[in-house]
């Protein structure tokens, strides 16, 4: 694409929305085309510049109007809202970057199906570092497939509404797939009381919620006499926003289809 990429941001006044407004302002060849807020928001009509944007785009609830002339919508909101936005993007022929988590199987399929009509990057975590971590986990799981217990620990801020995080679940899927397992069959999401000895075929999850933790994930491969830990810690939401913009730029040249960050970063085998 030889012109500026026109981007609409959903949830512009939220934590990720403001990070996206800031990242767009800092990124050459990306311009803010629309800034959306939820119905009933007190911020309607205010300038995006009040929330980190560099252009005086007014905050709006009119999604259809914002999509006119846009290239891509970036959405880190909630599943129900994201799916509503998806339907409108599909109708308008506008690509979409989806960082929302907490979808069920049927909802994920709806996103995949929309890739028949528009370009979509759908990933539980847009961070370049996290997606490199996924690749490292794939390698580690193949090497440490015998004699190592696998536990996934994640921590996020007090406002996060889903657990385990979408990133932690994706880490579990990557590891399970490398081991020839299905995460739904081997995941253990909580332990309490007398649980008996650990089943070596399981993948355990532990969740922490508190304060303003942006996002921390550690996958522990615990053997006898040693352990390997692969960890990622985010200290700013800008890392996710910058990855989302990289995904948006990828879609500008990719056409229709449902992609993930492995496609964006060229990490797919």
Is the CB of residue 123 less than 8 Å from the CB of residue 159? no
CA 201 to chain centre: 28
Q: What is the mean pLDDT of the chain?
A: 95
All residues at 6 or more sequence positions from 193 whose CB lies less than 8 Å from its CB, including other chains: none
Q: Which domains does the chain have, with CATH numbers?
A: 5-126+237-265 (3.40.50.720), 128-234 (3.30.360.10)
| Catalytic-residue membership of 156 | yes
pLDDT, position 53: 87
Among the listed residues 217, 13, 207, 10, the one whose alpha carbon sits nearest the alpha carbon of residue 100: 10
Does 135 qualify as catalytic in the annotation? Answer: no
Q: Mapping DSSP to helix (H, G, I), strand (E, B) and coil, where does residue 177 land? A: helix
Question: What token pair was written down for 263?
Answer: 């496609």
**How much is the pLDDT for 44?**
92
pLDDT of 119: 98
Catalytic member of 160, 217, 232, 233: 160
Residue 269 confidence (pLDDT): 64
73, 10 contact by CB (below 8 A)? yes
Query: What CA–CA distance (Å, rounded) separates 107 from 80?
Result: 9
Exposed / middle / buried, residue 81 (Cβ in 10 Å: 0-12, 13-18, 19+): middle
**Residue 120 near residue 257 (C-beta atoms within 8 A):** yes
- How far is residue 184's CA from residue 239's CA, in Å, rounded to a whole number? 29
Strand 59-60 and strand 30-36: the pairing is parallel
Percent above pLDDT 90 for the chain:
91
Among 150, 172, 127, 103, which Cα is nearest to 267's? 127
Residues in the chain with pLDDT values less than 70: 1-2, 269
How does DSSP classify residue 195?
Answer: -
Per-residue model confidence (pLDDT) at position 1? 64
**Short-list 207, 231, 208, 210, CA closest to 219:** 231
pLDDT of residue 54: 84
* Active-site entry in 33, 85, 156, 217: 156
Cβ count within 10 A of residue 166: 17
CB proximity list for 42: less than 8 A, separation 6 or greater: none
CB 239 within 8 A of CB 26: no
């Amino acid at each position: 694409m030889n012109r500026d990429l026109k981007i609409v941001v959903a949830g512009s006044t939220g934590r990720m929305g403001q990070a996206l407004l800031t990242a767009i302002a800092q990124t050459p060849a990306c311009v803010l085309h629309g800034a959306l807020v939820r119905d009933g928001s007190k911020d309607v009509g205010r300038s995006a510049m009040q929330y980190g944007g560099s252009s005086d785009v007014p905050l709006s609830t009119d999604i259809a109007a914002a999509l006119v002339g846009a290239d891509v919508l970036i959405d880190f909101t909630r599943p129900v809202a994201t799916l509503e936005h998806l339907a409108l993007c599909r109708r308008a022929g506008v690509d979409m970057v989806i960082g929302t988590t907490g979808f069920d199987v049927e909802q994920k399929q709806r996103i995949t199906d929309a890739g028949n009509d528009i370009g979509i990057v759908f990933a539980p975590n847009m961070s370049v570092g996290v997606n490199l971590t996924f690749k490292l986990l794939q390698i580690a799981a193949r090497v440490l497939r015998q004699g190592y217990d696998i536990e996934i620990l994640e921590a996020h801020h007090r406002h996060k509404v889903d657990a385990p995080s979408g990133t932690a679940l994706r880490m579990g899927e990557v590891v399970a797939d490398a081991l020839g397992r299905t995460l739904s069959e081997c995941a253990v999401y909580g332990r309490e009381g007398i649980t008996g000895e650990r089943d070596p075929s399981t993948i355990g999850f532990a969740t922490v919620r508190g304060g303003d933790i942006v996002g921390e994930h550690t996958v522990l491969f615990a053997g006898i006499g040693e352990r390997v830990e692969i960890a990622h810690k985010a200290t700013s939401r800008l890392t996710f926003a910058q990855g989302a913009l990289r995904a948006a730029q990828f879609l500008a040249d990719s056409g229709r289809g449902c992609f993930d960050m492995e496609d964006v970063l060229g990490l797919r085998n």
